[in-house]
Amino acid sequence: MLTKTKIYLSSPHMGGSEQKFVNAAFDTNWIAPLGPNVDGFEKDIQNYLGDQTHVAVLSSGTAALHLALQLLGVSNGDEVLCQSFTFSASANPIVYLGATPVFIDSEPDTWNMSPELLEIAIKDRIEKHKKPKAIIAVHLYGMPYKVNEINAIAKKYDIPVVEDSAEALGSTYHGMACGALSDIGILSFNGNKIITTSGGGALIAHTEALKNKAVFLSTQARDNAPHYEHSAIGYNYRMSNVLAGIGRGQMEVLDDRVAARRQNFEFYKKHLSKYESISFLEEPEGSFSNRWITCIKTDSFKLREQIRLELQQDDIESRPLWKPMHMQPIFKDCLHFTDGTSENLFEKGLCLPSGSNLVQDDLFRILNSITKTLNL
């Protein structure tokens, strides 16, 4: 009896040329967190995002968020407005710096930060003499947030925006690349992302000076001296030349990976839209999503769980949508401005397998498992 192979939610997908760059690192003994692959990977990302970007590749997207907040002057006692419907890595770096997160709910058009609730929160905090130090907005599952609206509000109150584009490399907003749309952007190259360096991330700045400051902090803040001199606290956050080599190879196939993920979405939509109990998040006008993860919203928690458990029984990984941060035990005492949108999405939403290495047999196997439940 043949055993079915497990289907994962989003597994790494190598393109073939990664080994060439990694071998070059070994052949030249550039193993440390500097070298030609680091410089080349940063240049590749800059070329992809646009001329006005300066990239520092780092050990993780979380490290990039931490440095972004520090570069914006966030410190002990400050408040930072953060999207509630996201992974905890969006919020954790706020706490690293001794600041406090204030969570903002989503809106239904993109499932991302609600501009209306954002402005309500800003007004409330200013009235209470706690003007927020920064805003963290997230392009969730690759869908761009309402950049123009969020940026306009941020500019109105003079609060910088950190653009969490960890899930959105390859997505665009009115033709502009996600990651380069706000004051500081961040990317993630974790193993489940649209391209991966095994572990890694990047900080996207709009000036070379800001990028250089990020690099300085990410390499233990060593001052320019013949000995080890430190006038600031630094971190060991720089990406290694070996992992950057994987990234260089992955950048060569990024557009193919986006196309494959979008094809997965279209497959699910084509076959599941006929069911009234299932809905999909559509792209608002001007938005182009890399469709990193295809998500469905069911009409009930019961149906969501029936589908998830049936998939699990068939050795197919799926996962509920992110549990909002304001519902997490660690953040239960934090202030939040919510209207139930993200709680409803968490209760009824499910992430489906979305890897760019899925084949037709995989997709039909997933579909058959889902429809088995829907046709009951």
Q: What is the pLDDT of residues 185-196, one digit of tens each?
A: 999 999 999 999
Q: % helix / strand / coil in the chain, to the nearest 5?
A: 40, 15, 45
Closest by CA to 213, choosing from 229, 227, 232, is 232
Question: Does residue 33 carry a pLDDT above 80?
Answer: no
pTM, two decimals, is 0.96
Q: How far apart are CA 198 and CA 265, in angstroms?
A: 24
Question: Whole-number mean pLDDT of the chain?
Answer: 96
pLDDT, tens digit, for every residue of 246-281? Answer: 999 999 999 999 999 999 999 999 999 999 999 999
- On the question of pLDDT at 2 being above 80, the answer is no
- Measured in degrees and rounded to the nearest 5, phi and psi for residue 217 equal -70, -30
Over range 205-218, report the average pLDDT.
97
pLDDT of 239 = 96
Query: Does the pLDDT value for residue 3 go beyond 70?
Result: no
Strand duo 336-337 + 100-104: pairing = parallel
Q: 319-320 and 349-352: which strand pairing?
A: antiparallel
Instruction: Please give the pLDDT value at position 51.
Output: 79
**Residue 36 Rama label (left phi>0; alpha psi -120 to 50; beta):** alpha
pLDDT at residue 376 greater than cutoff 90: no
pLDDT band of residue 89 (cuts 50, 70, 90) is very high
In the numeric block, the tokens 């497990």 are attached to: 6
Instruction: Look at residue 1 in the predicted model and tell me its pLDDT.
Output: 43
Q: What own/partner pairs with CB < 8 Å and gap ≥ 24 does 279-284 have?
A: 281/110, 281/111, 281/141, 281/143, 283/143, 284/109, 284/110, 284/146
Report the pLDDT value the prediction gives residue 32, as an integer from 0 to 100.
78
Average pLDDT in the 143-171 region? Answer: 98
Distance CA 26, CA 211 (A): 27
Q: Is 106's pLDDT higher than 80?
A: yes
CA dist 107 → 115, 246, 343 (Å): 8, 36, 11
Mean pLDDT of 173-180: 97
- The structure tokens listed for 59 are 């050990």
pLDDT band at 170 (very low <50, low <70, confident <90, very high): very high
Instruction: Summarize pLDDT for 320-344 with one digit per residue, the tens.
Output: 999 999 999 999 999 999 999 999 9
